[in-house]
Structure 1
Amino acid sequence: MGLLAVLYLSFGAVPLALLAHFASSLASDAVSDQVRHRLTTTAATSAVVVEQRLSSLTELIAATANDSVLATAVASLGGATGELLRQRLRIVVSQPGITEALITDLAGRTLASEPDTQYFTDVSRTDWFVGARSRSGPFVSAAYVPTFPDARRAVAVVAPIRDSARTTVALLAVAYSLDALQDFAGRIATAQGIELLITDQTGVVVARPDRDVSLIVSMIEDRRVSMALAGKSAYVREQTPLGWQLSATEPVARLGWTVTATVDEHRALSPARQIRSAVLTVSGILAGVLLAGLGLQIWLAAMRRRAERRLQQARDEAVRVSEFKSRFLATVSHEIRTPMNGILGLTRLLRDTRLDEEQRRYTDATAGAAEGLLAVVNDLLDLSRIEAGRFSLAVAPFDIRRLCREAVELLEPRARSQGLAVDTTVDGNVPERLVGDATRIRQVLLNLVGNAVKFTPAGRVSLSVSAEAVGGEGPVWVTFSVQDTGLGLTDEQRAHVFDRFVRDADERLEGAGLGLTISNELVALMDGQIGLESVPGVGSRFWFRLALDGTHPAIADPPTPLPIDSIEPVPAGQFGRVLVADDDDVNRLVARMVLRRAGFKVDVVGSGAEAIAAARARRYDIVLLDLHMPGLDGMAVSRAIRSQGPPDSRVPLVAMTASATAADRERCLAAGMDGFAAKPIDWEHLVTELRLRVWRGDGTLSADEATELCWDEQALTDLRRCGALDEAVETFAATAPVSAERIAAAIGSGDVASAAELAHRLAGSAATVGAAGLARRCARLSDRVQEQDRQPDERLVAEAAALGQAVAQALTALDAHRLPTA
């Protein structure tokens, strides 16, 4: 109970507390961001306003000073002229904010003023007089306070008066009161609650809040100076004797002034505190609800504990049963498949000898019985994989008409022996090629057609395939239907026909009761539907529907394996030397006889230690390893051979095992093996694959040549599927030798550019037909040729000369890849 309470609080109260903290932090961050945005926006806007006001004033004074009449009047200095100057000054003083204007010569003597000079005393000593004389344009002074009573702070705006030769003859100066800026700062404070402080380039306060600003000025003085020099904005949080203050500083462009917007942090962040208080209140209420729920949960947990204990015991028992079943099936598979491999192999070899009719009948019966037993083992393994979720589909293009024909042909001998007619109909609207798992579709068809033949004493069995009308690019709904005139099923039998281990309608007939169950599971894995219609004494119709994509009809039929009796005996050793390691005497005998007949030299050993010793003593073209051998198993042997290093590490290693699971395949590949052959061995397929791997054009291949002649199996498979392999090989055989000769000639003559282009083109052609090793060799040659900035060296010339031999070897090996494969 204590642990439950801790877990409940951990998964209830802790997330609630974290959520409350997150909400409070989020609110605080949002308010802080809002305050920062408000301060920085106010400071930036105020800086723009100040700049615009002073810029407008500066432009006005500059325009007045540039008046040619004013310059002429300054030069004359007569009585009428003095009155003209004063009239002009009165016009300037009439502008808002301007309290005084005067004209002074370059010595600092006043030529005219309006009204009488009060702000401008001792002109020659002022900063604006000195600054204006050294400038060619208008000048704005620092703020200052005049000495006469009730005077307000002001700045002097000065512009030069020039004659017709653009020579400065006098200065026009006005005193601009800073009351307007002070009023602006006051309106900002009233409207937004933000205190605005404006200082000039010397640190003198131009506008300030109502309260004492000495603390604020000292606080920002160093920062203001650095900001003015750098021309950058800043946002800071600083502690003052008045408390924590948030301030944003913005420089006023071209003036050297700064604008600082300041607000009290406690007042500005008060909304965040209100939100935090509301969140804590709600969290407290929810925490109370959680505590109440905790008590209820503890009470319910006590009631469920006993039931959960019983469920746990049942679950553990189910897991133990499942593990036992998996181990049992794996053991049964191995123990049955291993002798089955020998029985099937010897039976096939026996068929190839001279037998009379009775002996051949017995041999065929033996093979049929072995294949039937193997089918039961396969059904059990398929069912186990489906239950464990380790069953995968191999989706590829296939010929639907050929698939149906092959499925029916396998069952026709049995049907003819019963006097049954078996026919196949595929509607014309069914695409010639479909994309799906042909192996599993064939397995379902064999189960359904086989059952129909089994339970039809007389009459007919019909397999039909139809497709719904297709509009657009979507998949085709293909319906497979198997109709018979057999025994039929009752309602009770129909209800359980897809259940496991349910025997068929007539107990006298053989069957493990798994065929329809696996068919149902396979159709479900392919996202299809399966069903039946049956009338007792009339017959049954089993059907299933699959959504399959249609493909272009030009895809070639998949290659078929070589029948073992069609493997013409050839001299031993023509296709290389093979090492077979298997602890079963019968399996070694079958392997030796089949591989010798297929043209291989064969060495056989019975243990892993003997296999390692043989691989160290002699170079083999391929090694077949049984995984389950006494002492060192096949994986240990693989790791030992791989650890020996070149050239032995390059020999292809193929695992042979009766445990044909995906996990076994992964372990074999991890141990360094290249292939996987499940027992019973499909010798026809294996012989074809071995010939492709170890084909020799002249009987001998060096290690370097073998490395060069590696192949892109996927490229070859793609060419076979689209029916273009023969044409591609013929084209390559006609052009590649010529290209090799032209490359050698170009390099010999020093034509580096042509040689590089030809080598690059030959590399592309070789890659297209799957000659990956030759393609890499040509690509390296092209790269090396391009690096030459002069006549190619002797090694490059020799390599180009040897390219023709490499092309010839590739063509010889490519002929082997054109052999029929499974």
Structure 2
Amino acid sequence: MIKVNLPDDTSTQSRTTLVQTSGAAAALLLCVGLVVWLGWLVLREIDDFSVANSDNLQWSLAQADVEFLQFRLAMKDAQDDPAAMEDVRRRFDIFYSRMVTMSSGRVFHTLRESVQSSAPRMRVLDFLETTVPLIDGPDEAFLAELPSLLSQSEQVTADVRAFSLAALSAFAEVSDARREGITELMIYIAAVLLALFIGLTLLAYAMFRLFRLAQKRADAVQFASTRMKTIVQTSPNAIVVTDEVGVVREFNTAAEALFGFTRAEAVGRLALELMVPAETLARHQIGALAFLDEHRRPRPEEQHFEITLQTRDLHLFPAEISADRAEADNALYVFYIRDISNWKEAEEQLTEARDRALAGERTKSEFLAVMSHEMRTPLNGLLGAMQLMRDHSLSTRQSDLLDRMQSSGRLLLELVNDVLDLAKFEAGKMKAEEAPFSINRLLDGLVETAQPLAQTYGNELNWRWCGPEGDGAIGDARRLRQVLLNLVGNALKFTRDGSVEVEVEYLDAAKTEVEFRVIDNGIGIAEKDLTRIFQDFETLDSSYAREAGGTGLGLGIARRFMRLMDGEIGAESEPGEGSLFWIRVPLTPVSDVEADPEEPRDCPDKPLRPLDVLLVEDNEINRFIVREMLEGESHSVTIAENGQAGVDTAAHHRFDVILMDISMPVMDGTTAAGHIRSGGGACAEVPIIALTAHALPEERERFRRVGMSACLTKPIERPLLLRTLAQVISGEIPAIPDDAPQPARAAPEGSARPPSAPEMPASGLLDEERLHAFLSEVPRAAAGKLLERFFAEMDRNIAALAESAPDDPDLAPVAHQCAGSCGPFGVEALRRALGSIETQTKTGRLPQRAELAALAELWEQSRRALEARLEAA
């Protein structure tokens, strides 16, 4: 949007010029008014003088006295000669007319207002009025009264003279007043002329100032115009100016380069027809460019928009437009146009990169989900078989080997749990719990759990309060215990024949923030490594570290757990002096804590009586392991190979407990549990324990909603299985936790890199370690039967999968079953291919037909490799 404004000083000058012009015009009008008024006065005086000259005032007064004397002489002559009566009447009329003129004439108004002349004049007029009847009557009557008239005329003569003298005196005063008035008028005229001269001078000065200001303003406008023209012409973006009907009035250099038209070609043409594609013109005229047809200023939300424009050669490109209307005598629209092709391309690249990143995250989540199920399934077989082997007579050498195998299996289980914890946190699937617990019991259990490790390295381990003691708190006790166990485990592993002490202290009087400190006198840590140790897969380069081993994930997970609980974690250390690790976590104090959720209530370690158990499991190896564990404890086990079979079996026979796998064909475990609970069959109220490799909180919440009493995560530990059975049978049914209960462990800090996948032969078809574990742990007769069933099942299912449609609803369940069967026998390449197909189907992506068809050839190759390996064994 372009706005052209004159400089501020130009606006100020304009206002000053307007004020000065108005003042000069007012002064000029005043002077003109004064001149007109004085002219009127002069004309009036000239008129007065003109009237006075015509009447000859003084002459008339003197003549009145003479004419009255002539009237008396005529009356005396008539007394001697009656024939002179006509002369008497003529002289009377002349005097009478003179007196009437002085009584009513306009120039004699001053005489009439004179007090001195009024009385004689009135007596003379009275005499005349008395004499008129005699003059107009017969001569005899007049002659009879003539002596009397002569007598009266003598007295009237004095009045006429007095009247004349008084009038002359009054007119002399009037003349003096007139001379003074003329003098004042001349002074007024001179003053007005002087004022007029001064006004004209000021007006001339003002006009000169106005001329200078107008010249400056013209220069400023010219400068602003030149500057704006330069800005417009040198702008890197196109600027197009149109009139109210859309005709181009200005087209800058950038617009020429952008659209391919010269300024001469563009000016005078309709902008919309010039720049907007014809096929989208009508849509834009009622959309983004509607303000043009409505001849109005665009609203704020209409001033910035994106649109597709075209060049001279009809090349289309995305553009960003800023538009506004310049309100003037002739309204103008200004368009600021920018080609955003590069921005759109970059945006598409960013979107593509984001999609790839999201796809990578989904792939990672899918991989971890598969790993959770597929790795824990063979681990269940390994650790379960090891526990079963202890039921047989073993030599000392065999017991030692079995201990090492179980140790390795537990380390692998710890690695799986660490990676899953990490993945759940990064995926935002992990939430802090809020439950009451006892700090004292938590630390007692921590010391008890880590005591064997402390004795291994000859260390003393204890804990104590610093400052005021407390106990009850509300928080995430399980993750707090895991963080402390990690710190204590690390301190014990890096200390020899020393001591490790855990201190706990409230940091505020309200006991809402607690600090735990793990202090050892071991080898210590260099200052440069204090921040590095909290990174994932980071380990210390020392002999103790190499002895301890580990993935380097423990402290990274501890840091994430503290962030989850709104806490902090840090370390202080000196090489050779030991280390201090601390965590600060907000906890809500509580007075009474009835039970510690980290410690189960008093319950037998195994059921007190033989149980009738329904095991619903689709995987043959898992069925074999769990059945052996239970039957070894004198429990009766009934097998159902899928959820539907489990529902049917539970409807007709009451069992003491049901062990329900989650991922199964035909019907999954959660659906089956829902049918059992709502069906009203024999097992509608029987406890159901979930067996799963999935560890996400929303999955476990779903287990609760369908009525499952507890959850066990594969691989299954026999002590944990037996203890859980004892809990659900005795009524001590635990809430399903976010993670399956596992043996207490300290997350290791050791190895410098994560463990790699087991090495496969050159063909990449088999996992030799898994196959070797199966052949070593499963009795030969049972292994033969399992292999026979495995070959038959795979021949049938792989053939069906290879011919299935990508949108077949049975595709994912069959692929899941086959992949689970491949795992224990080490058929790794086929297991991965089946897992990929299952993952694609569950996430809404359909596999390719070629990918499904390739399963048959891959299975034939895998079978030949497996048969050759079995024959060699």
Common topology (TM > 0.5): no
TM-score (ref. length: structure 2): 0.43
TM-score (ref. length: structure 1): 0.45
More strand by share: 1
More helix by share: 2
